[in-house]
Amino acid sequence: MVTLKEAVTSRYVESLFFATIESINPENEKPLRVKRTFQGSEYHINCYITFTIKQGLTAGKIVVGDKVLIGFVDADISKPLAIDKLIVTL
């Protein structure tokens, strides 16, 4: 039988979600730290980045406070990946 924690964790790692950039440290293996609220709890996640994110950071087009799309490689909670920046249109 699947416990609630296992079900929630499975749903968490198999879904894409948006998170807010908290800090950027290009020296780290996972250079982007993001913050996300999930089911009433706040999570802080260090993420790998794509080449697109790296270009945005280098050009100054992605900064602390921006929202980014996060996924997990191979549905592995230890492999969070910042995929791209969210563009808000009005």
Q: For residue range 37-56, what is the model confidence (pLDDT) as tens digits?
A: 888 889 999 999 999 999 99
CA-closest candidate to residue 67, choices 24, 19, 32, 28: 19
Task: Write out pLDDT tens, residues 3-30.
Answer: 545 445 556 566 789 999 999 998 899 9
pTM of the model: 0.81
Q: Where are the domains of the chain?
A: 4-83
List CB contacts of 29: < 8 A, sequence separation 6 or more: 48
Name the fold adopted by 4-83.
OB fold (Dihydrolipoamide Acetyltransferase, E2P) (2.40.50)
